[in-house]
Structure 1
């Protein structure tokens, strides 16, 4: 093998793969030469255990849209790839040493383990041994090996979770840690300094006490991402001492359950009264099973009998959800669980003249004056923001009505961070003692107040100088209620009297170019059915963070229409969806679905591919750049620089440099720089679009090819940054 590789100046792996392909049955090789199967499919067929099995699978895939990966799975049933977390944890050598067999997939560059039962046994044995090793080394009472990839909630729901005790450093060590932090930030820390920094940080983080370890345990598991992992520390709940009788409760459980049933019965009686108030025709429809009980409950929200009967007629015989009827009968209302209503308070809303309606069956109140609620929400929010600003001493405070502070609000501001605090040696000792008493539940009210004070001082905070020159954003979230995001500072302004240089390309133009670039890639993606399906599967099941997904899964068509679209011409299939669709969509009935299916798999795949291509969005991982190179995306196929769409929006200096770049000095018209900006844009537009202009300038074929392929840098695909 090595001699052959050297003779042909190829790697041994390359030669081995070629020989593997050559070993395929003659019929499979003939199908490959005749383009009846792809090269990737031929590579997958090399996994067949025999020629007969290879030909059997070949016959089943001919003329069918089958992916090579499907064939790989069919030819290797029950195997486990060497990248599986169990195989990685056990190790290939240990698996083979225990008598396991494997198969090499040369083209996928992976090994397939063929004895999954053996792998599971080795996985369990090594896991249990590792759990016991960690238990003994760290001194826990018990350790449990969990074969799953995480510790399920059912394993811990009846246990008590313990937490590590925070550590402490002396005053001198605190100062040393701060100095090491600064040197690390400046990248001037040597190996010894980094080791010392890690040691001090570990001591400051603290850990579990010997008493905690002696009475609690850990769960050990193996995850695909982190390998061997430990979840510390859980304790069995305290049992009743042997021989001690457990005190009888004031109310036995059976009585408590009876009282709950009575309470529910009282509510049901009130609800039945509400149902009884429905018009006779609605009650008759309920008895005749023409509407469900849930639909009848929704109809109780009708403001009048006439409105109730009107809606009743519209839902009879139709598949309408009760929640849809609730929304139709209460337009413009806001449930009392809405974050605005919770923040303002129902009493304050009613005191301001607001009206409400009670939905007994959904157990909620509906606020009927959303405009009043929004005004009260804004007023209280602004008042709270000002109160916090005044109490904490910030320069400014901004109330944000949304549920979070948008990136667009803070992108041009400078983020400031709190300064860490420090305690004296005596205060550190006092804090440790208070924390121990708090853990033992022997701390009184004064002790808890002192503990909170010391913890706050150690956490540190913003300095007076920071507060005097920066501000905060205050908002209300559904989960946390009133929330403050600290602290932001305006960037330093340009000195008075100094003119800020205008950019060569305004931001709106840069955004247009990015839209055009994305449109060019989407147009090319529309022909890539298998690639788009792969991207879709990866987005859904690849464990990616939301911002790392290559597709907007909503699905939401991405903005590729430039603000000024002159010079941009997308393919008809892509352009067809750029205009709003005002036609009524199908109702989604079974008949419509069957009609769609009857059009065939090819039609389905084309619709899916085009729809997915429209959702493709750029990210920061360099994937768009890689795909653009792989697909040969040429932006100039769909975009030409024009005076109105591009050139006229650039600075005069940019146009001068562009002319000099595209027109050689010998042919360049020396009067170009003397032209007005609009005239320069027109000359360049003619240079890009008019053959006569190029001929008059005496440009060569190479010059013309350069003009025809030129794109601004903003239409390129930089690595790792888009």
Structure 2
């Protein structure tokens, strides 16, 4: 029966199926809608005895919350405002079912339907703010939906059909140009792997963001006055886009040229070149960097530098001696870092540009990320600048950009330096000659490759090749693990190698010494290098590398002969339930039942003895335990990628195991082993491994 009931007589029923927070229900939006149009749909309620004449709303809780919000705001009077209610009398179960059915079949408007609806309402009253107020939304939200309503027809139809997501539609709406929208949609719209970011980048093309340094320098007013257009970005916080970047760049160029001319007159430099970028890497190819003298040290500064250097040497000696306690060593390291920073700061000297050089050098006016123009602090010359000593013939060569004599190979006949481009091209051609020649001597190529990869892991020299055998990035710190039989074998192999060649002087001398080794010694070094390069696992996966599995098969590796599980490396770090399952696998339910009532630590200790072959037990059980290794240690098991989980540990020393907390009593592993699981001696669980007499 439909009734008009005062708001004050209504309260939310506890059987209402909607339980999400008011924040997620967006109550203010619903309240704004009710204030504009009233309650458009009946609430469902059932009468209650107390207080007399009251009703509990079991469907329409969101509308009820919105009405109460309007009452709190003073928009309506709860005592007199009447709400249309369909009163239903039934049992709680039936009312709850009715509430579920009413909410289950409510369909939210699709984004496309929202766009058309807002477009319709805007056409009715023409006021975006009024529409936003009526629907309890922000002006930005309404503008965004209206922008989507103005999408090119193929794009909007795809949104309406659900072929593209709302985020994808927003990406297409980043431009008002329908032609561009359709072209990009035809190019990318049918690929499921396309992302909104890809669409934005494709549409943006050569457009400028309003946050680009050029845009900040020029300013929107000047850009628009020069005929530029701005595309307002409603779906991104990166700022609007300028659709005519060439206009902005032209304006920026004029501003920077004017500033460069002013600074040139002010500084007296030969030239200042403006660059609308924060770096100058691509503008100095045909120039020569000028090395300038720095401000000399004062007596006090030089004395402080000497004192710092002496103290840093003392600290390094104390730490290297290995006789300093950890806490004291940490304090010394902190002091060393502080002194090192001060040393660097003192040596970072400003340069001096002599007046007589100003007419021969220039620099660049760059554009910083914040849109400001800054003068580069490095100086360059268009032709090499000779020192006075070189003019007198004492150096016998030209001066490089860093002020030191140019190497002979970079010097043209007559002593003048080659251009950087010509020098680079000649170096490449020289490299190609060496590469072509080494093809005829595979043995030398092998020596070179081995030496570069082996020696490259212990030194910092340049080896003239991209071949490397870098150490793998292990997923865990090996230093935190106890030494294993395999690790000990690797270190013993390293100590047995003929390492006399490593004691030679420079890199060339070491190479010559390495070449004198016999083939067996070189092969041993190669094996160690390969062993040290092996990765523990593929990134983001727990699956064995198939090549590793094949190598293990060729080598007929028996992992159990190399590795045994212990409490430290395995048993303490898995759940008690896993240990009981393992004992069942090795010795059956009878063996596992002996430990179902024991503490996790006791079970772990017993497992360590059993799997090391130290426990007295049946022959079959002992053999199975000695042959067992976890799947994670086997090469022939494919394992799906799993999320990492922290090691399992007991809560305290009372024997309460985290893994047993919160388990359903029906799932207790002990139930699998009969009712007499507590009849065993748990004071000495290892004794339970001994066969009964």
Length-normalised TM-score, structure 2: 0.38
Which has the larger Rg? 2
TM-score, length of structure 1 as denominator length: 0.36
